[in-house]
Amino acid sequence: MNMTGILFAVAVVGGVGLFIGLFLGIAAIVFKVEVDEKEEAVLAALPGNNCGGCGFPGCSGLAAAIAKGEAPVNACPVGGESVGKKIAEIMGVEAGDSVKMVAFVQCQGDCDKTTVDYEYHGIEDCQMLSFVPNGGAKTCNYGCLGYGSCVKACPFDAIHIENGVAVVDKNACKACGKCIAVCPKNLISLIPYDAKYVVACASQDKGPVAMKGCTVSCIGCQLCKKNCPEDAITVENFNATIDQDKCKGCGVCVEKCPRKSIIEHI
């Protein structure tokens, strides 16, 4: 190849490069996406777990909603109060009061307290047990199955199976709600971190049936309700519920419960 051919090739390549560069530069201007600086700042302040506990598709979805005023500044359950305050400063608003929430498994029916109808040998996944007789081997059809679907779903290692029942480490829990979504028995809910006492049973069986299935089952006797000085307890479908907004943590319900189904939230 002679020098003329080489120079021609260089000119062609350079010309193509120049054309592509100009085209991309013009395209970048024409199709430029305006960036909301507040949205970017909010996103940077969020923890980045993308757990979905806020109800939006990841941290970017929440950041966009906050920037548009469609979500409160303290909507991130993982970041908690500190992140809420940072975002409030970015948005130029008051953070407002927020209550730290944690997941709670409404069951304490471990292997020592419950009876079983048969031995189960199969896939160790709670959601799969909906296909086996009575929804699991335990006599109580409302109790924790203990095969750890919630453990697998938790991104913070805040739930562990202890002697056949799931237990939440409230200091590690970030209230993202992933465990709630996968529990086939609907035993997990969010309660205030500072809750003093909780009903650790979800059974809706009548007394004799509940007593047969578990030694710490709630039987709907209403002794807790009758003795609560704050009128913070209701009993429906043979199961007690504590209104945490009314509860003052006196502990009378624990003392009066004959089944020890009301426990201290530690």
In-domain check, residue 214: yes
Say yes or no to pLDDT of 55 above 90. Answer: no
Structural domain for 245, as ranges: 195-266
Asked if 59 and 48 count as a contact pair (C-beta separation under 8 A), the reply is yes
How many structural domains does the chain have? 3
The answer on 202 and 187 residing in a single domain is no
- Which residues does 62 contact at the CB level (< 8 Å), separation at least 6? 42, 46, 54, 56, 71, 75, 76
pLDDT for res 171: 95
Q: For 137-166, what is the mean pLDDT?
A: 95
Return d(Cα 141, Cα 21) in angstroms, integer. 67
* Residue ending a domain, choose from 146, 165, 193: 193
Backbone angles phi, psi at 241, to 5 degrees: -135, 135
Q: What is the CATH number of the domain that holds 261?
A: 3.30.70.20
> What pLDDT, in 10s, does the model give residues 97-122?
788 999 999 999 999 999 999 988 88
Q: What is the CATH number of the domain that holds 68?
A: 1.10.15.40
Q: What is the pTM of this model?
A: 0.79
The answer on 110 and 51 residing in a single domain is no
Lookup: tokens for 33: 């996406």
Lookup: tokens for 227: 């003795």
In-domain check, residue 30: no
